[in-house]
């Protein structure tokens, strides 16, 4: 029953995310087809190259039963290559922490797993203020920590490198440009890796990220 409730809650989050993305797109001032009719050539607003620095809140969880996600903070660097006003590619580097808690021997425990993340994807700009992105990610396991509460005492231990493995995944994202150089976004991401039937931990995870980035550099349009 607990598993069913978790699945329903998770599906509800996905539905809300998709609906909000659609409504934002539908209310845009200049739709994608309109921009193509005007011409997709880059101008003073759309640079060929842009570099963003930012941070994000992670709400990610493992697929193990009985775990609950904990908010964590991560960082990112992103390079964007615009082919036209409406279409471009993105590649980046960042760190993502996956934190969750669970019951453990009449008490509770917390895990925090730190990954270096390499995303690569496509970005669509249906309006000057809204973007949609999707692509693949590679998660490189860096370190992990376990905390167990025993008689009001927190016992810590570091996970071994062999306890977790690198994994592949994907993401879908909606972003908003504002105040000229700022970019806010929300995404849903997932990662998967084969887990041994004897493994006590899982390499699979998914969830949402909410972030804010600042454009620190962009190329100039040559006239």
Side-chain-side CA neighbours of residue 15 (13 Å): 6
pLDDT tens digits, one per residue of 116-156: 999 999 999 998 899 999 999 999 999 999 999 877 788 99
Coil vs helix vs strand at 7: helix
Question: Cα–Cα distance between 81 and 109 in angstroms, integer?
Answer: 43
- 80, pLDDT greater than 80: yes
pLDDT band at 2; cut points 50, 70, 90: very low
pLDDT tens digits, one per residue of 12-71: 655 555 555 545 544 444 555 555 545 467 777 778 999 999 999 999 999 888 999 999
Residue 103 burial (CB < 10 Å; 0-12/13-18/19+)?
A: exposed
pLDDT of the residue at 17? 56
Give the angle 11-12-18 at the CA atoms, nearest 5°. Answer: 90
Determine the longest span between alpha carbons in the chain, in angstroms: 70
Higher pLDDT, 44 or 97: 97
Give the angle 62-7-121 at the CA atoms, nearest 5°. Answer: 60
Torsion (CA) 192, 136, 218, 96 in degrees, nearest 10: 0
Torsion (CA) 61, 73, 113, 134 in degrees, nearest 10: 60
Question: Cα–Cα distance between 17 and 174 in angstroms, integer?
Answer: 9
Going from N- to C-terminal start, the domains of the chain cover 2-218
| This prediction's pTM | 0.81
Question: Cα–Cα distance between 39 and 86 in angstroms, integer?
Answer: 10
- 223, pLDDT greater than 60: no
pLDDT tens digits, one per residue of 189-206: 999 876 665 556 788 999
Nearest to 92 by CA among 63, 51, 129: 51
CATH number of 2-218: 2.40.160.20
pLDDT band at 107; cut points 50, 70, 90: confident
Nearest to 189 by CA among 5, 3, 13: 13
pLDDT band at 7; cut points 50, 70, 90: very low
Q: How much of the chain, in percent, has pLDDT values that exceed 90?
A: 58
In the chain, the N- to C-terminal Cα span, in Å, equals: 64
pLDDT of the residue at 210? 98
Question: Cα–Cα distance between 20 and 115 in angstroms, integer?
Answer: 29
């Amino acid at each position: 029953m607990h598993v069913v409730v978790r699945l329903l809650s998770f599906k509800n989050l996905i539905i809300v995310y998709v609906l909000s993305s659609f409504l934002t797109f539908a209310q845009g001032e200049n739709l994608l087809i309109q921009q193509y009719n005007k011409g997709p050539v880059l101008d003073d607003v759309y640079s060929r190259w842009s570099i963003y620095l930012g941070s994000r809140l992670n709400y990610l969880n493992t697929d193990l039963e009985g775990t609950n996600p904990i908010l964590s903070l991560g960082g990112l660097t992103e390079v964007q290559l615009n082919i036209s006003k409406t279409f471009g590619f993105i590649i980046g580097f960042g760190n993502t922490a996956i934190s969750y808690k669970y019951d453990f021997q009449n008490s509770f425990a917390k895990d925090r797993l730190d990954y270096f993340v390499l995303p690569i994807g496509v970005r669509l700009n249906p309006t000057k203020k809204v973007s949609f992105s999707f692509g693949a990610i590679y998660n490189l396991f860096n370190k992990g920590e376990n905390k167990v509460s025993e008689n009001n005492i927190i016992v810590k231990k570091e996970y071994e490198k062999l306890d977790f493995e690198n994994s592949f995944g994907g993401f879908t994202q909606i972003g908003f440009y504002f105040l000229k150089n700022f970019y806010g976004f929300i995404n849903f991401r997932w990662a998967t890796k084969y887990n041994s039937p004897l493994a006590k931990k899982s390499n699979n995870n998914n969830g949402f990220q909410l972030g804010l980035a600042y454009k620190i550099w962009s190329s100039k349009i040559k006239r």
